[in-house]
Amino acid sequence: MSRAVRRFAGLGRGFTLMELVVALALLALMAAMAAPLSEVAVQSQKEEQLRQALRDIRSAIDQYKQAVDQGLIQRRIGDAGYPPDLETLVKGVPNQQSPSRVPIVFLRRIPRDPFNPDTTVPAAATWKLRCYESPADAPSPGANVYDVVSMAKGKGLNGIDYSLW
């Protein structure tokens, strides 16, 4: 090998300290930019889970009311035709038009509020219930569960409070 080739091959043996510092600074800058994006992605995923859970529960409540109106479920005097609690949607109620009184079930399980951090609380207790008699701006529990809202504090990515979803 000639002397010029050996000298050229010796130059590319490694990185200088300055090149390593610049590379690490660029990596740190990229990581700092990615952290807020990942937080937004996690919040967006929880919000989608909240939308789906609210849709499922509200749909089950509506199906219960429709079954009462059709005479499939016995209506008590003074009852508005809504379920007494969320557990009733899972346990089921006897079908009044079936000879064997096969229960009508509206939900397999009660979905959890994804913004509730306490995993020891039962799923039904993660929601704020609104009875038929309570106003929309001040939901309160009662005998006829008309609606559910999230107990989460804060606003969604759309700027609306989670309790108003």
Tokens 């229960």 belong to residue: 103
The CA–CA distances, whole Å, from 157 to 48, 110, 148, 160 equal 11, 25, 20, 8
Asked if pLDDT for residue 4 goes beyond 60, the answer is: no
95: closest CA among 86, 104, 87?
A: 104
Chain segment 82-96, per-residue pLDDT in tens:
999 999 999 999 998
Average pLDDT (117-143) is 86
According to the model, what pLDDT value does residue 137 have?
76
| pLDDT bucket at 30, cuts 50 / 70 / 90 | confident
According to the model, what pLDDT value does residue 143 have?
82
Asked if pLDDT for residue 7 goes beyond 70, the answer is: no
According to the model, what pLDDT value does residue 40 have?
86
Residue 11 lies in a domain: no
Residue 147: which domain range? 43-164
Average pLDDT (36-59) is 91
Predicted TM-score of the model (pTM): 0.76
pLDDT top residue among 89 and 141? 89
Average pLDDT (60-86) is 91
Question: Which spans in 70-154 are helix H?
Answer: 87-91
Could you say which DSSP state residue 16 is in?
Answer: -
SS3 state at 70:
coil
The CA–CA distances, whole Å, from 118 to 9, 50, 152 equal 62, 16, 12
Average pLDDT (51-69) is 96
Residue 9 lies in a domain: no
How many angstroms separate the CA atoms of 146 and 136, rounded? Answer: 10
Domain total of the chain? 1
Residue 63 lies in a domain: yes
Report the length, in residues, of the chain.
165
Average pLDDT (16-43) is 84
**Mean pLDDT over all residues of the chain?**
87
Number of neighbouring beta carbons within 10 Å of residue 62: 12
Residue 33 lies in a domain: no
Residue 1 lies in a domain: no
Residue 35 lies in a domain: no
